[in-house]
Amino acid sequence: MFEIDKIRRDFPMLERTNEGKPLIYLDNGATTLKPDCVIAAVNNYYQNITSNIHRGDYHLAYLADQAYQQAREVVADFINCQSKEVVFTYGTTHGLNQIAYGYGIKNLKKDDEILITVAEHASNILPWYRLAQLTGAKVRFIPLDEKGKITVENVKLALNERVKIVSLTHGSNVLGYISDIKAIAAAVHEAGAILVVDGAQSVPHIKTDVKELDCDFLVFSGHKMGGPTAVGVMYGKYQLLEKMEPLLLGGGMNYRFDIAGQMLFKDAPDRFEAGTPGIEAVLGLKAAIQYLQNIGMDKIALYEKQLKDYAVSEMKKLDNIIIYNPEPDIGIISFNITDQGRVLFGQDVAAYLSKHGLCLRSGNHCAKNLWHHLGTDSTIRCSLYFYNTKKEIDKLIEVLKTATLESCIDVIF
Ligand SMILES: Cc1ncc(COP(=O)(O)O)c(C=O)c1O
């Protein structure tokens, strides 16, 4: 049983307004609202156990240490790996940069290849471009199919003996497709490469088991799953983490160093967590994961699927809409609004929606290579989470019906 009314009461932001209208938050691909338990976990750190981790010998520091380590166990349980394979990062972006730098610099050489797609977020493109610049390796793009999906067949066709890294999104942040990571991982491994998975848009919405997927790395962000900002996770198979260079050097990640410049780093995961981490954010992420687990990831996925199906079918009834992904797997729908055959500027429409309390993002959603496929570099994105309702979708549809060149321009001037 999915108790939506009870769930909604857990999110104080749902009682707030946007531009004086009841808040309808449909920008969950960007970040998500936080349940009370996450806010309480962050507050608890500030109010009751403030102290640094890995340093203090006093009891309070021990309590913070313990809570931080428990968070690692909770993440490990959530994605089914060992806790020593869980590295806390500042988010997906940090994790991908850490992998590109830490694994890539050591393992790639001139003319090796890195495979990505045009559907990737900037965070899963730019670190690879830089790795290519630093090593002389090449970035190649796996073609999407005509719908914009990453298919196993196209991955297989793109693989060859020069490919060392394949880095793909599990859930597209613009088209809402879920890739068959398990089959892709098998093909990538057969070709002798490793598979990095950007789970920013999948882990918050579908049950994720890294053993089952058999990916080599998986990264995701806490703030897209009800957790705080500036915390994320980099999962890596331990034998790969062991061989990887840390991106950041500093306190907490070394055993010793001397005036001759010698350094001895700790083992993973500590060697990747230099400096004071976002301790309260890690504890908030732990609370967020436990909250999701209490509801049940399968129930969340099912509810979101039903809501997404409803939203798509209602949007398809509009005669002033272009939907770029009419069959998404998860609750991400990208569209534009037209008036007399002209596509309205997405930001104008988003500003008009905002006047009615609706929060949706417009633009390229950091996937700036995707226009090659879409034929436009700007869409409006409706991205759902499990606290959204059909009633909110109805409101969106009602307002979209009235979005015209005139009504949207009125908002701006
Ligand atoms: C698919 C995808 N990858 C990576 C990121 C970057 O996440 P963060 O900004 O939390 O590092 C995002 C954020 O929108 C995303 O949607």
The reported pLDDT for the residue numbered 267 is 97
User: According to the model, what pLDDT value does residue 1 have?
Assistant: 83
Q: Which of 88, 92, 202 to mutate to test the pocket of ligand 1 (most atoms within 8 A of CB)?
A: 92
- Asked whether residue 246 carries a pLDDT value surpassing 90, the answer given is yes
- Looking at the fold, whether 238 and 331 belong to one and the same domain comes out as no
User: Is 253 a residue whose pLDDT tops 80?
Assistant: yes
pLDDT in the model for residue 56: 79
Q: How many CA atoms lie within 13 A of 91 on its CB side?
A: 14
Asked whether residue 251 falls in the same domain as residue 115, the answer is yes
Degrees (nearest 5) of the Cα angle 34, 36, 38?
60
The predicted structure's pLDDT at residue 410: 75
Residue 123 Cβ contacting ligand 1 at under 6 Å: yes
Residue nearest to atom 15 of ligand 1 (CA): 200
Does 373 sit in the ligand 1 pocket, CB within 6 Å? no
Q: For ligand 1, atom 12, name the residue with the nearest CA.
A: 200
Predicted pLDDT at 85: 98
Ligand 1 contact via 198 beta carbon (within 6 Å): yes
171 CA distance to ligand 1 centroid (A)?
11
CATH number for the domain spanning 154: value is 3.40.640.10
Asked if the model's pLDDT at residue 409 lies above 90, the reply is: no
Q: Note whether 370 and 364 are within 8 A (CB).
A: yes
Are 271 and 125 in the same domain?
yes
Q: Is 91 in the pocket of ligand 1 (CB under 6 A)?
A: yes
The CA angle 261-262-266, to the nearest 5 degrees, is 130
Structure tokens that stand for 383 in this block: 């991205």
Atom of ligand 1 nearest to the CA of 171: 1
Of all protein residues, whose CA lies closest to atom 9 belonging to ligand 1? 93
Q: Is 81 a catalytic residue?
A: no
CATH code at position 354: 3.90.1150.10
Q: 200 CB under 6 A from ligand 1?
A: yes
pLDDT at 178: 98
Whether 91 shows a pLDDT value over 90: the answer reads yes
Task: Work out the pLDDT band at 413, boundaries 50, 70, 90.
Answer: low
Residues 165 and 314 in one domain: no
What is the distance between the alpha carbons of residues 74 and 234, in angstroms, rounded to a whole number?
Answer: 14
At 209, is the pLDDT very low, low, confident or very high (cuts 50, 70, 90)?
very high
Are 202 and 175 part of one and the same domain?
yes
Share of the chain above pLDDT 90, in %: 96
Kindly report which listed range (54-63, 239-248, 388-397) carries the lowest average pLDDT score: 54-63
Indicate the number of domains in the chain.
Answer: 2
Q: Is 169 in the pocket of ligand 1 (CB under 6 A)?
A: yes
Domain end position, chosen among 242, 267, 294: 294
pLDDT for position 282: 98
Whether residue 92 has its Cβ less than 6 Å from ligand 1:
yes
Rounded to the nearest whole angstrom, what is the distance from the C-alpha of residue 293 to the centroid of ligand 1?
A: 22
Nearest alpha carbon, ligand 1 atom 16: 173
Cα separations in angstroms, 202 against 38, 220, 252: 20, 8, 31
Residue 77's domain comprises 38-294
CA of 221, closest atom in ligand 1:
10
Kindly state whether residues 56 and 205 are assigned to the same domain: yes
**pLDDT: which is higher, 409 or 26:** 26
Per-residue confidence band for 54, with pLDDT thresholds at 50, 70 and 90: confident
CA-wise closest residue to 108 among 181, 194, 19, 227 = 194
Using the atom order of ligand 1, give the atom closest to the CA of residue 224: 10
Query: Do 67 and 147 lie in a common domain?
Result: yes
Q: Which atom of ligand 1 is nearest to the CA of 30?
A: 14
Assess whether 331 and 271 both reside in one domain: no
Q: What is the pLDDT of residue 153?
A: 98
Q: Give the closest residue to 69 by CA, choosing from 283, 263, 348.
A: 283
- Cross-strand bridge partners of residue 337: 321
Catalytic residue among 37, 215, 359, 366: 366
Is the CB of residue 362 less than 8 Å from the CB of residue 378?
Answer: yes
Average pLDDT value for residue range 329-356: 97
Q: Is 93 in the pocket of ligand 1 (CB under 6 A)?
A: yes
Is residue 261 classed exposed, middle or buried when 0-12, 13-18 and 19+ CB atoms within 10 A define those classes?
exposed
Question: Quick one: pLDDT at residue 412?
Answer: 62
Across the chain, mean pLDDT equals 97
Q: Are residues 144 and 212 in the same domain?
A: yes
State the distance from the centre of ligand 1 to the C-alpha of 368, rounded, in angstroms: 13
Q: Which of 221, 225, 330, 381 gets mutated to test ligand 1 (max ligand atoms within 8 A of its CB)?
A: 221
- 182 Cα to the center of ligand 1, angstroms: 21
pLDDT > 70 in the chain, percent: 100
